Amino acid sequence: MDGPPTERFARCIAASRRVRWDVETDVIRGRRFDLANKFLPDGLTLANTLPFLAPEEKRYFSQVQGRTYANMFGLVERFINAKVLELSRDHWFGDQTALEALIRCSEEELKHQALFRRVEALIGEAMPAGYSFLWNPNDVAAVVLGKRSWAGLALTLHIELFTQAHFRESIRQDAELSELVRDVFRFHWREECQHAIMDELEWRRLDAATTPKARDLAVDELIELLGAVDSIVTGQASADSRYFIATCGRQFDATVAEAVQQTMLAAYRLQYIFSGAQHPHFAAALASMTTEAQLGRIQAALSALAPMPMLNAA
């Protein structure tokens, strides 16, 4: 989708109007989460790499990760919305189409936060006590908003593109995957497509006004932000694997417990870092705005998080 930014923002507004949905009447529709189903697709949970888990244990492994998925999106959408509102200021007395598109995006992200809070509460009703999500969305937002917008927008584009990769995983054939989960992925994806276009427009607008020195500092900040995401998922993988082991109904020896934790961490790195960083569109946009040396620094930071799991080709 090419053309001047105003035209592209106008097409985002038109698409946003066309796909608009409601949390209760379109997505939830009076349904509940059923523990007979998986809450995340196998391609994202890596459950199939744990051969010692019985099928019902793999299903439970996906349910714990599905609950964290709802919490993680509630978290990232807090700072994404604040960043979008902050950027909208640049358009107050300028491009009113861009302003309208960003305001719609903000309103959608508020709705998505409400959706994911609803999903977390519904999953919480169905699952045993003892789960905890360790991170406060406002604390994380303060870290992201404390960096240059160039870095914050790069992180945001990477997230909004990985929701598209996750949607593709959710539509693979799997009779055990919850229909409600499929709908959450599908409805979220329909609005995120526009967001990713707007993130890139805004990122390129800022990039054009960024000096080489400032961009070099922003690249370091992006690396710091990816490191912060890694700290978040590392802590959460520890908490979630302890919860999984304590509540899954049998004893695990230390070696097996360690494999569960490492797989949970690999799955979260896949979901929240690599499925965005490896997204072809993100990789191309990043490469077009950085030097080879800067790109090399980012790639080195990502490789340090190895072993790097990959999503299967669509």
Rounded to a whole number of angstroms, the minimum distance from the CB of residue 211 to Fe ion is 29
Rounded to a whole number of angstroms, the minimum distance from the CB of residue 1 to Fe ion is 17
Give the nearer residue to Fe ion in terms of CB position, either 103 or 259.
Answer: 103
Q: What gap in Å lies between CA 34 and CA 212, rounded to an integer?
A: 53
**x-or-dash string of contact with Fe ion, 73-112, rule CB under 5 A:** ---------------------------------------x
**x-or-dash string of contact with Fe ion, 40-59, rule CB under 5 A:** --------------------
Give the nearer residue to Fe ion in terms of CB position, either 104 or 148.
Answer: 104
**x-or-dash string of contact with Fe ion, 3-42, rule CB under 5 A:** ----------------------------------------
Site for Fe ion (CB under 5 A): how many residues?
Answer: 4
Rounded to a whole number of angstroms, the minimum distance from the CB of residue 290 to Fe ion is 23
Q: Using CB under 5 A, which residues numbered 148 to 187 contact Fe ion?
A: 160
**x-or-dash string of contact with Fe ion, 118-147, rule CB under 5 A:** ------------------------------
Give the nearer residue to Fe ion in terms of CB position, either 42 or 77.
Answer: 77
Give the nearer residue to Fe ion in terms of CB position, either 112 or 148.
Answer: 112
| Among positions 195, 215, 269, 279, the unique one binding Fe ion when judged by CB under 5 A | 195
Rounded to a whole number of angstroms, the minimum distance from the CB of residue 182 to Fe ion is 17
Give the nearer residue to Fe ion in terms of CB position, either 42 or 192.
Answer: 192
Q: How many CB atoms lie within 10 A of CB 223?
A: 18
Residues within the interface to Fe ion (CB under 5 A): 112, 160, 192, 195
